């Protein structure tokens, strides 16, 4: 059974790694190399493919827009989610369970069901086709999972440390920001990476909300890659397409490589009891 599980894991690793390697190799090849020998190493590193995708295909602009939106949304999500989860996990008050299950219920609400009313809400607020509007929507859709995950994590933290801090004169805000939040770092990193992946790869919400005059300049990376795939596909510039895909993948890969240990420890420590 152990050998079977190892074989399955190796097969899964190859299945997920080979397309990434293929895309990275393709970003350094010419179009002829991609079409004639797609699995060979590039004859030389053609950085001009990356430059062409970054400038001519406007991937650089879309990358910056995505970075602005995701940074703002992730900051809001983690701050508000951590505060709500801490209160729900540590304080007993009337309606505690109702609020908690309302957040849990939000996880089961498909985004597709809310697209039409969400469009009109954002438009009535004057935020349609703007980066701040998209940032707020990203944060709102990330909050339920964040609260659900961090509530379970805060419950695992020792109460003795919190009681000692209160005895030493630490107030509620000081207890949260100076004591409990640093102790919850593994869980914060874990849920932060999951939220980053969801927000960075989001496609449906930008397609619906980034409309209006001049909205194309404020497109995020998922929209830009779609436009790049259509345009470069017709023009036969497959090397530029692979370069754009690789640029979009880099933040996700680097984030996981840097924080993969924290993700594993956070998932292990934040189990439901």
Q: Which of these ranges, 70-74, 75-79, 102-106, 110-114, has the smallest mean pLDDT?
A: 110-114
Q: H or E segment at 170?
A: none
Average pLDDT over residues 55-61: 85
Concatenated DSSP letters of 41-75:
PPSS--HHHHHHHHHTT-HHHHHHHHHHHHHHHHH
Task: Kindly state whether residues 32 and 52 are assigned to the same domain.
Answer: no
Task: Kindly state whether residues 212 and 235 are assigned to the same domain.
Answer: yes
Q: Please state, in angstroms and rounded to a whole number, the distance separating the CA atoms of residues 99 and 20.
A: 41
Q: Are 75 and 65 in contact (CB under 8 A)?
A: no
Residue 5: CB atoms within 10 Å = 9
Task: Kindly state whether residues 201 and 180 are assigned to the same domain.
Answer: yes
Residue 235: CB atoms within 10 Å = 11
- The pLDDT tens digits for 220-265 are 888 888 887 777 656 677 888 889 889 988 888 887 777 777 666 6
Task: Kindly state whether residues 98 and 209 are assigned to the same domain.
Answer: yes
Q: Please state, in angstroms and rounded to a whole number, the distance separating the CA atoms of residues 24 and 38.
A: 11
**CATH code for position 191:** 1.10.3720.10
Structural domains in the chain (count): 2
Task: Kindly state whether residues 8 and 128 are assigned to the same domain.
Answer: no
Q: Please state, in angstroms and rounded to a whole number, the distance separating the CA atoms of residues 273 and 270.
A: 9
Task: Kindly state whether residues 55 and 41 are assigned to the same domain.
Answer: no
- The pLDDT tens digits for 99-150 are 999 999 888 888 888 888 999 999 999 999 899 999 999 999 999 999 999 9
Task: Kindly state whether residues 57 and 2 are assigned to the same domain.
Answer: no
Task: Kindly state whether residues 58 and 24 are assigned to the same domain.
Answer: no
Task: Kindly state whether residues 37 and 75 are assigned to the same domain.
Answer: no
Longest CA–CA span in the chain (Å) reads: 72
Task: Kindly state whether residues 179 and 60 are assigned to the same domain.
Answer: yes
Nearest residue to 79 (alpha-carbon basis) of 130, 132, 147, 125: 147
More confident: 57 or 84: 84
**Taking 60 as the threshold, does the pLDDT of residue 34 lie above it?**
yes
Contacts (Cβ under 8 Å, ≥6 apart) of 207? 223
More confident: 270 or 101: 101
DSSP state of 127: -
> 3-class secondary structure for 37-50?
CCCCCCCCCCHHHH
Task: Kindly state whether residues 58 and 135 are assigned to the same domain.
Answer: yes
Task: Kindly state whether residues 31 and 122 are assigned to the same domain.
Answer: no
pLDDT, residue 81, reads: 95
Contacts (Cβ under 8 Å, ≥6 apart) of 266? 153, 186, 187, 188, 189, 190, 191
pLDDT, residue 273, reads: 43
Range of the structural domain that residue 98 is part of: 48-269
């Amino acid at each position: 059974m152990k050998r079977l599980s190892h074989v399955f894991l190796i097969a899964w690793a190859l299945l997920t790694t080979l397309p990434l390697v293929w895309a990275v190799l393709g970003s350094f090849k010419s179009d002829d190399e991609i079409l004639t020998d797609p699995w060979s190493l590039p004859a030389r590193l053609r950085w001009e493919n990356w430059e062409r995708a970054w400038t001519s295909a406007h991937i650089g602009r879309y990358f910056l827009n995505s970075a602005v939106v995701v940074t703002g949304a992730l900051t809001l999500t983690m701050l508000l989610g951590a505060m709500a989860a801490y209160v729900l996990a540590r304080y007993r008050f009337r309606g505690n369970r109702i609020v908690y299950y309302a957040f849990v219920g939000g996880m089961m609400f498909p985004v597709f069901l809310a697209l039409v009313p969400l469009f009109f809400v954002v438009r009535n607020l004057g935020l349609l086709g703007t980066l701040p509007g998209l940032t707020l929507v990203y944060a709102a859709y990330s909050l339920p999972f964040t609260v659900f995950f961090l509530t379970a994590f805060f419950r695992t933290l020792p109460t003795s440390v919190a009681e000692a801090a209160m005895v030493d004169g630490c107030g509620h805000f000081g207890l949260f920001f100076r004591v409990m939040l640093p102790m919850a770092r593994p869980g914060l990193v874990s849920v932060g990476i999951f939220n980053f992946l969801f927000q960075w790869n989001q496609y449906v919400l930008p397609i619906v909300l980034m409309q209006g005059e001049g909205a194309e300049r404020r497109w995020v990376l998922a929209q830009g890659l779609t436009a790049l795939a259509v345009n470069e596909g017709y023009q036969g510039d497959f090397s530029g397409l692979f370069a754009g895909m690789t640029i979009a993948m880099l933040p996700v890969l680097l984030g996981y490589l840097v924080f993969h240990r924290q993700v594993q420890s956070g998932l292990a420590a934040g189990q439901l009891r």
